Structure 1
Amino acid sequence: MATTQVNPTRMELTRLKRKLVTALKGHKLLKDKRDELMRQFLDMVRENMTLRQQVEEGIRAANQNFVLASAVMNEPALQTALMAPKQSVTLDIAYKNVMSVEIPQFSYHTRTSNPHDIYSYGYGFTSADLDDAVKSLAEIFPQMLELAEKEKACQMMAAEIEKTRRRVNALEHVMIPDYQEKIKYITMKLDENERSTQIRLMKVKDMMIKERIEQSRAQA
């Protein structure tokens, strides 16, 4: 047991009481952090689900347009039209601290600022369905990037919640009970020693009184 590994002194008792106070404060702070993380995590999950539905719908529409384009155009012409993309994208990553979690934030900029500068082919030998497919993907790209940001944030928040939960459980079920048990053990030992000291003092006092009485009788 933990009580057999502790020195039952007042100095040790004071030290353990300070540790217990610190552990109780840390336990409360970690519980508050865990609850706030859970609240923000659930809000983020709901946003992520809504955004995922929008992205999946946009990708589904783009795929339908690609299917229509491939039905009208032959395969070599379609591959040639999409072989050399005209636009390029540069991704920038920043970080935001949320409850000690460094959540990435994605932003991007294209080679040119013209939103219509996305077609790498001429219009003479391609289908309008291909134009719609490329436009659909270009329009859904910001939402796809935001979805990636939200999903990464959810993963990091979930990991932090699990880590915080384990710390809370360790404090609540291991460290705090251990400190309380040691404090109780030392307090009992000190009380026992104090009672023993008082009994010894009382016995010494009785012996001294008895000795004085005997001396008085001998003198009389």
Structure 2
Amino acid sequence: MAKNVNPTRMALSRLKKQLATAVRGHKLLKDKQDELVRRFIELVRKNAALRKEVEEKLTTAFSSFALASATLNESYIEELMTLPSNDMTVEVIEKNIMSVIVPVMNFDYEEDFMAQPFNYGYLNSNIELDDAFDNLATILPLMLELAEVEKTCQLLAEEIEKTRRRVNALEYMTIPELETTIVAIRNKLEENERSNITRLIKVKKMTQ
């Protein structure tokens, strides 16, 4: 029996309500944990596909840039990249996934950004530099999406761990302790009832 619990019918009724609440809470948390794990697995797969795509595009872009650097004047390339030619903004808003607040990144840019990310004369350039800039421009939205997915995975993983600890605490500590205490109180009440009946029988015999 748990400490500081008097074996009374009032205590038994209170513990039964606590047990019912704990069992219901355990089920809700277990359902939440299962749904979080399902969404986490989906995002992990999406993250792997995005990362692979970004890495492949970056490899291609860096290869093109390396070839361009070998044939163009380094100061010319630096001059092209000194000042931004387009305005871009990133808006970060929040979304609720199973009580987990995760970021949503919106990438806003001018309509002609993808067609011409840098304003420069193509006569002074080469196809490798053009390809490098084009690839880098297409990678930007993917990189933001990848950052969003990876952060969401991190936050979901933390919430899954917290929920798992709460589920285990209810399943292996709180609920068994309540059940044990309830059984102990029932046994004590039954024992007291038998003692009272025996005492009443003795009193009745003595008065006859």
- TM superposition score category, shorter chain reference: over 0.9
Whether contact under 8 Å (2:61, 2:133) holds in the other structure is: yes
| Structure 1 gap ranges (5+) | 210-220
Looking at structure 1, the residues matched to 178 and 156 of structure 2 have their Cα atoms a distance apart, in angstroms, of: 31
Instruction: Give the residue type in structure 2 aligned to 1:113.
Output: E
- SS in structure 1 of the partner of residue 3 of structure 2: helix
Instruction: Give the residue type in structure 2 aligned to 1:69.
Output: A
Looking at structure 1, the residues matched to 201 and 134 of structure 2 have their Cα atoms a distance apart, in angstroms, of: 98
Whether contact under 8 Å (1:82, 1:120) holds in the other structure is: no
Q: Equivalent pairs: percent with the same residue?
A: 49
Shift of 1:181: 1.3
Looking at structure 1, the residues matched to 119 and 181 of structure 2 have their Cα atoms a distance apart, in angstroms, of: 75
Cross-structure match for 1:212: none
Matched, 1:46 2:49: no
Cross-structure match for 1:137: 136
Shift of 1:126: 2.7
Whether contact under 8 Å (1:85, 1:120) holds in the other structure is: no
Looking at structure 1, the residues matched to 2 and 21 of structure 2 have their Cα atoms a distance apart, in angstroms, of: 20
Alignment length (residue pairs): 207
Looking at structure 2, the residues matched to 117 and 99 of structure 1 have their Cα atoms a distance apart, in angstroms, of: 41
Whether contact under 8 Å (1:8, 1:186) holds in the other structure is: yes
- Bigger Rg, which one: 1
Mapping for residues 178-197 of structure 1, pairs under 5 Å: 178-197=177-196
Matched, 1:113 2:111: yes
Matched, 1:198 2:194: no
Q: TM-score, normalised by structure 1?
A: 0.89
Cross-structure match for 2:18: 19
Mapping for residues 61-140 of structure 1, pairs under 5 Å: 61-110=60-109, 112-114=110-112, 115-140=114-139
- SS in structure 2 of the partner of residue 85 of structure 1: coil
Whether contact under 8 Å (1:20, 1:179) holds in the other structure is: yes
Looking at structure 2, the residues matched to 119 and 152 of structure 1 have their Cα atoms a distance apart, in angstroms, of: 30
Moved more, 52-61 or 128-137: 128-137
Shift of 1:145: 1.1
| Structure 2 gap ranges (5+) | none
Matched, 1:164 2:157: no
**4+ residue runs of structure 1 moved beyond 3 angstroms?**
none
Looking at structure 2, the residues matched to 154 and 4 of structure 1 have their Cα atoms a distance apart, in angstroms, of: 42
Q: TM-score, normalised by structure 2?
A: 0.94
Looking at structure 2, the residues matched to 170 and 78 of structure 1 have their Cα atoms a distance apart, in angstroms, of: 60
Mapping for residues 55-66 of structure 1, pairs under 5 Å: 55-66=54-65
Instruction: Give the residue type in structure 2 aligned to 1:208.
Output: T
Whether contact under 8 Å (1:86, 1:120) holds in the other structure is: yes
Looking at structure 1, the residues matched to 2 and 19 of structure 2 have their Cα atoms a distance apart, in angstroms, of: 15
Shift of 1:146: 0.9
Shift of 1:124: 3.8
